[in-house]
Chains A and B, each alone.
Chain A
């Protein structure tokens, strides 16, 4: 390793990073767009879900239950007298489900035989929302039943739920840290994969290889500027998240940057491995999207909870570096510097990164012979 050559390569790569408009777009414009999208446009929170309430009975209790459905902030109720009136709306997707208060509701209410009180139909094509509708409906009924018992004797057990870490249960608070991981994957994997392929495509690699520069020096010269760029992009995204989107940062900035630095090891390693295998920028971009971006999106727990995935998929998620990064990021943003949680994640990221680098080293062409 020659210091003078390395400095020359790092300087060259940094100038290229600064001058290439696409780096600027991916590192600074894309984060802003993604953060805005995840902060405002995408929301996993369930509020004002449209449902139908079919009131088949005219009894006072039935009326009161229907009013209870209308009164909750979780539902936007379309009243009906016949289930046929709302069934069509569920099919067309206007309503997420409906509740039937049957004709014999009053009789069921006083019956000593345990049985169903109301019927809840949900739109199973959106399982998440369906679950919410069923769950909330259950909650409304339970509450209504409890309030019917006039001046109840003090309950023996009282349930008071508290949501830790995200008391307002705002999805943006865990989506925004996730978005940062996506952005870092783009910078680390996509940009690195592209720049090495570009050298081959434009014939400049040939010129570099004919100089005394070693392949290792060329690659390190490429990684360093992108490492710094990745950290700058994290810092920018985190500042946006905290000061614009009101996501609390309970841990320290140092921990946040340390985590990002650790995540860049597998991200850059993956990019490097792709660039060693891909012959041109097009293939490199495809490979980076399929092996970097999509897993970071789908298998990292960013949008879809890992615990609810089938077991084989759950196992795969362990080798997705973004999974470990997102878990740690959510910890540092929402809980604080909980090292016991973050250290194993960091170790996992470094281990995955080491594998990528080893593969990249083995596969990188050191001459034009293929």
Chain B
């Protein structure tokens, strides 16, 4: 990437300028007057929850759409007027990386080299440079479709870098990529910005924002913040605290803490509860609360997510209406979900390999792992959607192979993306799931009425689920899964793509249900959500590589340099340990 320096002086002061950018799709206003400057030589995060308008803004900058109003300048060009010249100056990696999965790594590179008009004689050097940069050298003949998420992303990046662009646009590069590969991507982006490239990184993960040199924070098409992320978190100085070493149920503690008028946001972190105050002057209130609860109060550094929630006026309350209505779960067995030697093979490929664990009643059990690690396969076997090749799975003491339908009655299942019926109205969705679980007559009507009331769906009964705001969609999906009062709840990536406030609301319900004795199994790729779990099972390459409480997992990753490792650090640490072990073993075998 050394040639890039020579091309630098041509860059105007700002790599991208946004002047009152408005984009409408029909009645819907996706961007409502965005004003901002993106500078070269640094990483700018375009941050916001799904539906905030990030992708639209990226596409406008890439010249793939024209703004309805306002002006955009990218590398000194107008993306619409100079649409012929712009592509030579930008690299754009769309979501899902824009790769051809039926072409090999090398063939993808050749295609983009040809499209960029690279001369044949420079192909070898360019490919060599990019392959070295992305460390994809050993995989040139592999089909892109057979690469892992992280490798796909690197290849997508290599293709976008083909013509050494001045502005690099990356749309959600971190989605579907395991933390180890994400780490690699940060390294590469760092190298690029050091050489003067303007890199724009769109993301819904708020923790990624903290790593950016500058941030444009979007919410519902409005620019909420433009500047250095530290500036935003600095506003929350002395407002974030952790409640440690208490002897209470931490879920009850969180619920009570959220009741305090002084507290604007709170989450669970392992055994601790993390709260954010509305103003720094309210420290007394939280100190009194900690004292009463017998907890130790520790000031902690504010996070970007705290700032985001604060910007939006605080999180939801801590009481779940649905959990309050529910009678405590009566189940005899202490072990609610159990699997032993659970294995599933698809042909020669083993998706789940000898997985065993037990989940106790009233526990939140998290299943974590990179994409393709076997989480979903394991999950599907546990809810009876997939037959295991070997091993036993039991739910509420019932063997899923022999008593599948009785076992299924005991569980509520919320699939990825909520899986509501788009062609049925909200009311019909509720009636359908009640019917599917065998509710009839008065009981059916009573339960539906109850769900409608507690989730405030009255005004939405005749809408199609797709018209609902995300938060309502999630409530509806949860209502459908809870209709038959299941003692066990399976949640498959329940909060992916959901904004932090809706996510908090969701966890309030889950926490409330667990306190009533409901057992919850959850898969997630939000590392900080793993903190809500009592125990976390980490899956990697079809195997269970760790199973412990979040605090214990984090403790394993503690180093001298990193005294307070986050869940993501623990994850990376464990995976690297497995990789190192595998490498040592294969070396021994070779010798």
Contacts and interface: CB of A to CB of B under 8 A. Distances in A.
Contact of A210 (B87, B103, B110): B87
B552 interface: no
Contacts of B159: 207
Interface string B85-99: 001101011111111
Contacts of B116: 211-212
B94 A203 contact: yes
Contact of A368 (B59, B98, B112): B59
A131 B585 CA distance: 82
A207 B59 contact: no
Interface stretch (A2-10, A33-41, A259-267, A322-330): A2-10
Interface string B373-388: 0000000000000000
Given A11-B110, A202-B96, A367 B117 contact: no
A15 interface: yes
Contacts of B111: 8-9, 11-12
Nearest to B62: A210
Given A209-B64, A212-B117, A15 B102 contact: yes
Nearest to B84: A212
A5 B66 contact: no
A100 B93 CA distance: 81
A26 to B, nearest CB: 16
B133 interface: no
A210 B84 CA distance: 10
Interface string B142-164: 00000000000000000100000
Interface residues of A, number: 26
A7 B99 CA distance: 18
B117 A5 contact: yes
A224 B20 CA distance: 44
Contacts of B112: 211
A20 interface: yes
B107 A206 contact: no
A15 B99 contact: no
A12 B103 contact: yes
B539 to A, nearest CB: 27
Nearest to B59: A368
Given A203-B95, A210-B90, A5 B64 contact: no
Nearest 9 CB-CB pairings of A with B: A8-B114, A207-B98, A210-B92, A211-B115, A212-B87, A206-B94, A368-B64, A12-B111, A19-B102
26 contacts: A5-B115, A8-B115, A9-B111, A9-B114, A11-B111, A12-B107, A16-B100, A19-B102, A19-B103, A202-B96, A202-B101, A203-B94, A203-B98, A207-B98, A207-B159, A209-B64, A210-B62, A210-B64, A210-B87, A210-B94, A211-B116, A212-B88, A212-B115, A213-B87, A367-B65, A369-B65
Interface of B: 59, 62-66, 84, 87-88, 90, 92-103, 107, 110-117, 159
Interface of A: 2, 4-5, 7-9, 11-12, 15-16, 19-20, 202-204, 206-213, 367-369
